[in-house]
């Protein structure tokens, strides 16, 4: 069932690894729909066997586990060697959609790239990534996916001793901007050319095999669309280093990420982001910066700086356009005009000034169309009604269109923390509730209404930590 191509690239692209043994693996969650879509069902024969596979204890036929080499800019500083320090790529499968997916175990032990790390993962990051990545998928945001979560029976030492876990992830690939940087830093043009050719064939097959500017243009387009979508749903990635920037344009690495409750342009959750580099409202600027790092690598293959600069310069305007389209849709506008940027800003200023919940405010705004209750939205309310009047649509239709793109349920940080704390104590109730409810983020699910609510003051969780 595996069809591995990355391992056929030159040996300096990776290190072969052996996942470490989990003493007593138990399946915590298993994504049956995805397993079917990836044609992985042969993998499984009951929960016990699945736990053996998804902990790395047993390798499925055809798996060739490797840890990938990459570098990266972390908080603006270049680190020439990072690599998979706690992950093993088992191999690639072709899904029912005929696309190729990486199947990776995360938290399966040390690799030659582990540096001082133990190569393991605590249960918390496993549960966080499972819930967040599946929620993103259900919201329509390009992302790596959650295949399974297991508890290993190990104890891992973090700020306190914690149960260990392994997360199984499916991704379009694990090629990052940092993978290009790894070879560029070594001035290894041959490897860069092989990597670029591979990435083009795998992700942008309609781009010419040595059309590096065309490739760059497509990567940039996907990043612009991705960040616009993050902003749409109120997502803060938290660690947008170049090693976490996927060439395929997927959300990659759910470390200290979070969805915001009340709206703030400069909202930060990550405990290590002291300079607010990766704040909510800074994400497009950072993506642009990361893309400049990719262009620098590609320049080693094709010395046409003006051509790369011309593409790079398009990013801010392209992002603004994609963002405006998304936000206009959330506000019920049937088209997005350049001057709608003013209306969008007025709305967000209103949310920030009144510490309003980002997600639920869009639903309340839509519901106000039925209730004729206007006053609550201040200056914005009047301007918005005028703008809607210009498109002469039936208010009930507008309300339905808004509710189709504005979620009720997001993976709220305090609920994620609740799910983790309970799971550490062997209670998977909240985890499984959240898996179920977040599958249908736009649908009213009265039985789960508590999960739609923002945290009470005593429930607020303001800080998130990396999985390290």
- Residues annotated as catalytic are 243
Closest CA to 295 of 175, 225, 214: 214
Cβ atoms of residues 242 and 40 within 8 Å: no
Extract the runs of DSSP E, i.e. beta strands, from 36-85: 66-68, 72-74, 77-79
Q: Which is nearer to ligand AMP, 422 or 424 (CB)?
A: 424
Can you tell me which of 108, 173, 244, 361 binds Mg ion, judged by CB under 5 A?
244
Closest CA to 342 of 330, 352, 328: 328
Q: How far is the CB of 82 from Mg ion (least distance, A)?
A: 8
Q: Which is nearer to ligand AMP, 371 or 466 (CB)?
A: 466
Q: Which is nearer to ligand AMP, 373 or 466 (CB)?
A: 466
Can you tell me which of 6, 17, 84, 168 binds ligand AMP, judged by CB under 6 A?
84
Q: How far is the CB of 233 from Mg ion (least distance, A)?
A: 21
Using CB under 6 A as the binding rule, whether residue 85 contacts ligand AMP is answered as: yes
Longest Cα separation, the chain: 66
Q: Assign 441 to helix, strand or coil.
A: coil
In angstroms, the CA 103 to CA 170 distance is 5
Can you tell me which of 353, 370, 436, 466 binds ligand AMP, judged by CB under 6 A?
466
Residue 261 contact partner, candidates ligand AMP, Mg ion, none, CB within 5 to 8 A by sort of partner: none
Residue 319 contact partner, candidates Mg ion, ligand AMP, none, CB within 5 to 8 A by sort of partner: none
Count of residues in contact with Mg ion, rule CB under 5 A:
2
Cβ atoms of residues 118 and 110 within 8 Å: yes
Residue span binding ligand AMP (CB under 6 A) among the ranges 35-43, 190-198, 238-246, 383-391: 238-246
Using CB under 5 A as the binding rule, whether residue 253 contacts Mg ion is answered as: yes
Q: How far is the CB of 351 from ligand AMP (least distance, A)?
A: 30
Using CB under 5 A as the binding rule, whether residue 262 contacts Mg ion is answered as: no
In angstroms, the CA 401 to CA 55 distance is 43
Using CB under 6 A as the binding rule, whether residue 106 contacts ligand AMP is answered as: no
Structure token digits, residue 8: 């056929």
Q: How far is the CB of 212 from ligand AMP (least distance, A)?
A: 26
Using CB under 6 A as the binding rule, whether residue 155 contacts ligand AMP is answered as: no
Rounded to 5 degrees, what angle do the CA atoms 71, 240, 291 make? 70
In angstroms, the CA 381 to CA 105 distance is 49
Q: How far is the CB of 450 from Mg ion (least distance, A)?
A: 32
Residue span binding ligand AMP (CB under 6 A) among the ranges 113-121, 183-191, 316-324, 403-411: 113-121
Residue 86 contact partner, candidates ligand AMP, Mg ion, none, CB within 5 to 8 A by sort of partner: ligand AMP
Cβ atoms of residues 269 and 413 within 8 Å: yes
Neighbours of 368 (CB within 10 A): 19
Taking the CA atoms of residue 278, residue 281, residue 285 and residue 286 in that order, the dihedral angle to the nearest 10 degrees is: 20
Residue span binding Mg ion (CB under 5 A) among the ranges 252-260, 385-393, 422-430, 454-462: 252-260
Q: How far is the CB of 86 from ligand AMP (least distance, A)?
A: 4
Note the helical H segments in 38-159: 46-54, 123-138
Closest CA to 160 of 460, 461, 420, 432: 420
Distances (CA, A) of 407 to 19, 293, 346, 440: 39, 34, 21, 9
Q: Which is nearer to Mg ion, 171 or 228 (CB)?
A: 171
Closest CA to 55 of 27, 33, 34, 35: 27
Using CB under 5 A as the binding rule, whether residue 242 contacts Mg ion is answered as: no
Cα distance from N-terminal residue to C-terminal residue, the chain: 32
In angstroms, the CA 369 to CA 395 distance is 6
Using CB under 6 A as the binding rule, whether residue 332 contacts ligand AMP is answered as: no
Using CB under 6 A as the binding rule, whether residue 129 contacts ligand AMP is answered as: no
Using CB under 6 A as the binding rule, whether residue 253 contacts ligand AMP is answered as: yes
Point out which residues bind Mg ion (CB under 5 A): 244, 253
Residue ranges that bind ligand AMP, judged by CB under 6 A: 82-86, 113-114, 117-120, 239, 243-244, 253, 255, 466-468
């Amino acid at each position: 069932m595996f069809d591995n191509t990355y391992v056929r690239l030159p040996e300096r692209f990776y290190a072969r690894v052996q996942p470490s043994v989990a003493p007593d693996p138990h399946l915590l969650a298993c994504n049956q729909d995805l397993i079917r879509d990836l044609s992985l069902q042969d993998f499984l024969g009951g929960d016990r066997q699945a736990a053996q596979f998804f902990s790395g204890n047993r390798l499925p036929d055809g798996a060739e586990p490797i840890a990938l080499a990459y570098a990266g800019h972390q908080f603006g500083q270049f680190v020439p060697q990072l690599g998979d320090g706690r992950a093993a790529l088992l191999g690639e499968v072709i899904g029912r959609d005929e696309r190729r997916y990486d199947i990776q175990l995360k938290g399966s032990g040390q690799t030659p790239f582990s540096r001082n790390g133990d190569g393991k993962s605590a249960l918390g990051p496993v549960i966080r990534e499972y819930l967040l990545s599946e929620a993103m998928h259900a919201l329509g945001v390009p992302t790596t996916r959650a295949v399974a979560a297991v508890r290993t029976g190990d104890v891992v030492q973090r700020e306190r001793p914690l149960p260990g876990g392994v997360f199984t992830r499916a991704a379009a690939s694990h090629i990052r901007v940092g993978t290009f940087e790894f070879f560029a830093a070594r001035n290894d043009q041959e490897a860069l050319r092989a990597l670029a050719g591979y990435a083009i064939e795998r992700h942008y097959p309609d781009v010419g095999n040595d059309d590096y500017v065309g490739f760059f243009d497509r990567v940039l387009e996907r990043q612009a669309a991705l960040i616009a979508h993050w902003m749409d749903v109120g997502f803060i990635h938290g660690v947008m280093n170049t090693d976490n920037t996927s060439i395929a344009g997927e959300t990659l690495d759910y470390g200290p990420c979070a969805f915001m409750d009340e709206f703030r342009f400069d909202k930060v959750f990550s405990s290590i982001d002291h300079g607010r580099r990766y704040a909510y409202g800074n994400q497009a600027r950072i993506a642009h910066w990361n893309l400049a790092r990719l262009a620098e690598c590609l320049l080693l293959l094709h010395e046409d700086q003006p051509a790369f600069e011309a593409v790079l310069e398009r990013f801010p305007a392209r992002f603004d356009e994609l963002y405006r389209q998304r936000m206009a849709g959330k506000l019920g506008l049937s088209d997005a005009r350049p001057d709608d940027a003013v209306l969008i800003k007025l709305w967000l200023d209103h949310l920030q000034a009144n510490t309003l919940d980002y997600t639920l405010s869009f639903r309340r705004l839509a519901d106000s169309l039925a209730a004729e209750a206007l006053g609550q939205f201040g200056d914005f309310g009047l301007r918005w009604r005028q703008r809607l009047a210009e498109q002469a649509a039936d208010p009930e239709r507008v309300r339905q269109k808004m509710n189709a793109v504005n979620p009720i349920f997001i993976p709220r940080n305090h609920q994620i923390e609740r799910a983790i704390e309970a799971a550490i104590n062997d209670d998977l109730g909240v985890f499984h509730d959240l898996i179920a409810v977040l599958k249908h983020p736009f649908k009213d699910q009265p039985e789960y209404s508590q999960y739609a609510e923002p945290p009470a003051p005593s429930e607020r969780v303001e800080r998130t930590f990396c999985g390290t």
